[in-house]
Amino acid sequence: MDSLQSFLTTWDSYMLYLCYAMIGVGILIFLYYEFSAARVKDLKDKYDYINLHEIKYFWYTVFCFIIAACCYGLTIRSEKIAYSGMIFFWVRLFIVVSMGFITYFIFFSLLKIYYPKYVEKRLDKLRNTPRTSPAGNKMRKLSEEEEDAYMDADMIAEEANIHSVDYDVWLDEKTGYKKIEKYNSYEHADRCPNCGYYTLRMEREEMKQEPTAFEPGLLLKHYKCGYCGHREASELKLAPKA
């Protein structure tokens, strides 16, 4: 009995230390991300940083909290184990580990299914927030019809031939200063018409008919949902080559 009580006392101490440590690590990861994102002042750079890192760092934080909760769970009812015997220690271990795995998959699914919608809304807002030129003037985002006059030939060709690439052109109409930003459709998720979650991503593009000087072309964009596996394709007509 005394040896079991001594073991449980030591066990509880280590589990509580690990619990506090994982909470601290989770908070530090969250603060590190928020601080790093806040330091990025350029809106396009902030867009890229959030798109690349937010879901990843948020999941790291949640994972640390799950481990912390499991560690705390492994200290519950130690007095009963000391009184009833070691068998209850293994029962508790099994229950806590099982609950930990269930919680892991629940939060992983929630993060994969629901959180991208929130992130995409933030990214869309960042992409369309008016830029400010070095002269301090508010810039205007040009329409698709206007932007070609301010883009290089290589950019126009890339946007025309690689349709997962899109360029935004911002113009300071007072000074003529322009800012061109590149975006990739493959990096973003859309709402799946089958399950309703923001887990539909473009897998590949297929050129069904090359455009000619007299005939338009036809491009197929293939999409797959990362949650329900739904697949679909959309057609995009390409203008005849000039």
More confident residue, 100 or 186: 100
Give the pair of three-digit tokens for residue 173.
């109409």
pLDDT of 211 reads 73
What is the rounded CA–CA span in Å between residue 226 and residue 188? 12
pLDDT of 20 reads 97
Give the pair of three-digit tokens for residue 201.
């991503």
Instruction: Give yes or no for residue 132 having a pLDDT over 90.
Output: yes
Closest to 172 (Cα-Cα) out of 220, 200, 137, 219: 137
CATH 2.20.25, the chain: domain bounds: 189-242
Per-residue pLDDT band at 131 (split at 50, 70, 90): very high
Per-residue pLDDT band at 158 (split at 50, 70, 90): low
Q: 25-34, 52-61, 137-146, 206-215: which has the highest mean pLDDT?
A: 25-34
Average pLDDT on 166-188 reads 87
Q: For the chain, what percent of residues have pLDDT higher than 90?
A: 46
Kindly report the CATH number that applies to the domain delimited by 189-242: 2.20.25
Per-residue pLDDT band at 238 (split at 50, 70, 90): low
Q: Taking all residues of the chain, what is their mean pLDDT, rounded to a whole number?
A: 86
Closest to 201 (Cα-Cα) out of 190, 216, 212: 190
What is the rounded CA–CA span in Å between residue 200 and residue 203? 9
Instruction: Give yes or no for residue 215 having a pLDDT over 80.
Output: no
Closest to 149 (Cα-Cα) out of 131, 169, 175: 169
DSSP codes joined into one string, 17-37: HHHHHHHHHHHHHHHHHHHHH
Element housing 166 (H / E): strand 165-171
